[in-house]
Amino acid sequence: MTNPRKSSALKEHEGVSEPETTNKRAIQAIKTKRQSQPSAADLVKGILAKNLTALSRAITLVESTNPQHLKKANTIIQACLPYANKSVRIGITGVPGVGKSTFIETFGTFLTSQGKKVAVLAVDPSSTLSHGSILGDKTRMEDLVKDDNAFIRPSPSGTSLGGVARKSRETIILCEAAGFDTILIETVGVGQSETAVHSMVDFFLLLKLTGAGDELQGIKRGIMEMADAIVINKADGDNLKNAKTAKVEFNRALHLYPPKESGWQPKVLLASALQNEGIPEVWQLIEDYLDLSKTTHFFDHKRNEQNKFWLLQTIEDRLKSDFYNNPAIKAELQIQLQHIENGTTSPFAAAEVLLGLK
Amino acid sequence: MTNPRKSSALKEHEGVSEPETTNKRAIQAIKTKRQSQPSAADLVKGILAKNLTALSRAITLVESTNPQHLKKANTIIQACLPYANKSVRIGITGVPGVGKSTFIETFGTFLTSQGKKVAVLAVDPSSTLSHGSILGDKTRMEDLVKDDNAFIRPSPSGTSLGGVARKSRETIILCEAAGFDTILIETVGVGQSETAVHSMVDFFLLLKLTGAGDELQGIKRGIMEMADAIVINKADGDNLKNAKTAKVEFNRALHLYPPKESGWQPKVLLASALQNEGIPEVWQLIEDYLDLSKTTHFFDHKRNEQNKFWLLQTIEDRLKSDFYNNPAIKAELQIQLQHIENGTTSPFAAAEVLLGLK
């Protein structure tokens, strides 16, 4: 096939370069400014001055895989620590379609109207593959995104849940140091992410739908038991009657579980984020929880336990990744898994072989 | 206070030793025989010949902490593997007082009457401290203990759940090689042991009581979601009406959970182990499950997944114990935990310090 352009009447003569009309020096100055890396101290100063650009840049360092960036991020986090820890951290989960974005939009806007400063984060390891499933589309939170008292940050990408969770947890510290007093952490109700989020929040809220068999769909086993509250969303219009029935059923189901260590009895509420109904009640419930857990000192106890959990978790994640990323072990693991599948070795004998390669 | 015996009229004179009436040589011969260690090959031969003494001795090797014994145990297990894997493994849990021993006694006796060969094991890490809480008292299974087609083995002791679980899992292989076709694994419904047992059985049965507020007591969060069946025990006499109500409630609660990967819908049954009522129905339900899961090949799939799980679990347990038992790390861990409690370091910075000592 001949190149149509070559034989075409449309063939163009090559042009000549236009003379430069921009000031090279000015361009260079802009480039230098863009590339200039503020120091860790500058970023800390910015964060404590509630500068959102500084906050965003620091979070970008936390999310980086460059060891230099991580070192800088650690310095910033250490410096921010004394100013963190002064917020309420709320986990929000529910299957896709339950209306998490709309709920967070309405709930977040309610909170800022009450004088709160709200940071919205997400933990969603799948975002690496799907390029931002939840919170990727900020347009679904169009009021909140324009709200000066709100800060929205999509899920960091990462190869493992452990990595994503670590980054989110450090981001919480930075947001708190920047003066955000209410941290909402969104996650999809379909994976292990809930356990990770549960271990970084004070209060865990499960959004549910009624009708359409949602009770039987999607929510991973065990998540309902973590919930401090179940909010049945879209409880409006024709749905209201079903929602009320579902409320009774969920309440009954929650009573089958043993009491929580906090002494808190999980509650079921109805809400319609779209109609802006039931939202103050959700916040009131969280305040009740905070009152109770601060009176009993469970609040601090839980945060302390969470910090210890994250210490051990970080160590164990690294021990595992160091082991499984060893090329000799990687190769032998495949061989041993095949032996196990064939029934020619026991899991314990196979483990001995692999540990011998360490 | 003076010692009453010293000043008492009851004070006894010290006696003199009685002359030996037993043959020292005979005793020595018995001791030698007891101490003689049959070879691994002898024990394998004995196990495959369904010799219970050989089975018990091999299990003792599995449970030993002596590295020589463990090496021998590994050889035996590898040799038994081709003959294992041909049983149904049933986990049985429930809070203390629910009647686990009586249920296993009645259920096990029913199974042997049907021509089954039944091994009863236990996973109970607490037995290290309490010296045999569950199954320690074999007298509560007085029929089964005399039954030639039953083999009862209390929980191995161990310092960690991981250790106890590993030992139990290897014991299953030995029992299967010795011809036991039905393995019952008992555990107390109060700890992490259920997760371990759940990952080594085909079918997981939760015993419940009705009345006395049992629904709200003791059973750890998450255990109900693992159950393939809930059996409400002691459903007899005055209790029967309450048991029927509880059955409806549990059924309703189970329907709030999403479907299991097996496609199996967990069922609720009533039984009275003491009155020997409802026992064949429990077995029928398990057979229904086996039919379903074998037809869909979920049965083999699950066992294969369990084997892979145990491979990784064994590796990770060892990586952790090697790390945390390092004296330098042990000492620094206490220091870093204190820093975390004081809020002067982040869990992630503390983890870096500790990992640097590896």
Residues 6+ apart with CB under 8 A from B167: B62, B63, B156, B158
Whether residue B94 sits in one domain with residue B58: no
Total domains in chain A come to: 3
Whether residue B95 sits in one domain with residue B218: yes
- Position B339 in a domain: no
Question: Which of B55, B83, B111 is at the close of a domain?
Answer: B83
State whether B343 and A85 contact (CB < 8 Å): yes
Whether residue A289 sits in one domain with residue A172: yes
Give the mean pLDDT of chain B: 83
Average pLDDT, stretch B253-278? 88
pLDDT digits (tens, 9 = 90+) for B224-236: 778 999 999 989 9
pLDDT of residue A248: 87
State whether B346 and A318 contact (CB < 8 Å): no
**Which has the minimum average pLDDT: A11-20, A92-101, A113-122, B50-59?**
A11-20
Average pLDDT, stretch B276-285? 96
Whether residue B112 sits in one domain with residue B52: no
Within an 8 Å CB–CB cutoff, is residue B325 touching chain A?
A: no
Instruction: Tell me the shortest Cα–Cα distance from A65 to chain B, in angstroms.
Output: 15
CATH number of the domain bearing residue B207: 3.40.50.300
Whether residue B160 sits in one domain with residue B71: no
**Which has the minimum average pLDDT: A34-38, A117-121, B15-19, B224-228?**
B15-19
- What percentage of chain B reaches a pLDDT higher than 90? 46
Residue A29 CB neighbour total at 10 angstroms: 11
Whether residue A205 sits in one domain with residue A108: yes
- Position A3 in a domain: no
- Amino acid identity at B16: V
- How many Cα atoms within 13 Å fall on the side-chain side of residue A43? 27
Name which of B217, B318, B323 is nearest A355 (Cβ-Cβ): B318
Whether residue A190 sits in one domain with residue A321: no
Q: Is the C-alpha dihedral spanning B75, B78, B79, B81 positive or negative?
A: positive
- Position B353 in a domain: no
Whether residue A153 sits in one domain with residue A63: no
CB of B358 closer than 8 Å to CB of B323:
yes
CB of B271 closer than 8 Å to CB of B209:
no
Average pLDDT, stretch A255-283? 90
Question: Which of B271, B295, B319 is at the close of a domain?
Answer: B295
Which chain B residues touch A318 with a CB distance below 8 Å?
A: 351, 355
Long-range interactions of A190-193: CB distance < 8 A, separation 24+? A190/A95, A190/A96, A190/A218, A190/A219, A190/A220, A191/A125, A191/A126, A191/A161, A191/A220, A192/A161, A193/A123, A193/A124, A193/A125, A193/A161, A193/A164, A193/A165
Range of the domain at A348: 311-355
Helix axes A100-113, A279-295, angle to 10 degrees: 70
Report which of A203, A104, A191, A88 is spatially closest to residue A153, judged by C-alpha positions: A104
pLDDT digits (tens, 9 = 90+) for A185-198: 998 755 567 778 88
pLDDT digits (tens, 9 = 90+) for A126-146: 644 444 444 445 556 888 888
Instruction: Tell me the shortest Cα–Cα distance from B35 to chain A, in angstroms.
Output: 27
State whether B310 and A348 contact (CB < 8 Å): yes
- Position A167 in a domain: yes
Within an 8 Å CB–CB cutoff, is residue A213 touching chain B?
A: no
Whether residue B207 sits in one domain with residue B63: no
Which chain A residues touch B163 with a CB distance below 8 Å?
A: none
State whether A221 and B219 contact (CB < 8 Å): no
Which chain A residues touch B315 with a CB distance below 8 Å?
A: 323, 351, 354-355
SS3 content of chain A, % helix, strand, coil (to 5): 55, 10, 35
- Position A24 in a domain: no
Rounded CA separation A222/B157 (Å): 30
pLDDT digits (tens, 9 = 90+) for A289-324: 999 999 999 999 999 999 999 899 889 988 998 899
State whether A316 and B311 contact (CB < 8 Å): no
Whether residue B124 sits in one domain with residue B74: no
Which chain B residues touch A351 with a CB distance below 8 Å?
A: 311, 314-315, 318
Instruction: Tell me the shortest Cα–Cα distance from A2 to chain B, in angstroms.
Output: 57
Name which of A221, A313, A345 is nearest B258 (Cβ-Cβ): A221
Within an 8 Å CB–CB cutoff, is residue A221 touching chain B?
A: yes
State whether B346 and A252 contact (CB < 8 Å): no
Whether residue B58 sits in one domain with residue B96: no
CATH number of the domain bearing residue A78: 1.20.5.170
State whether A340 and B307 contact (CB < 8 Å): yes
- Position B160 in a domain: yes
Let me know if B83 is exposed, middle or buried by CB neighbors in 10 A (0-12, 13-18, 19+).
middle
Question: Nearest residue of A to residue B251 by CA position?
Answer: A253
pLDDT digits (tens, 9 = 90+) for B77-105: 989 988 987 899 999 988 777 888 899 99
State whether B319 and A319 contact (CB < 8 Å): yes
Whether residue A72 sits in one domain with residue A88: no
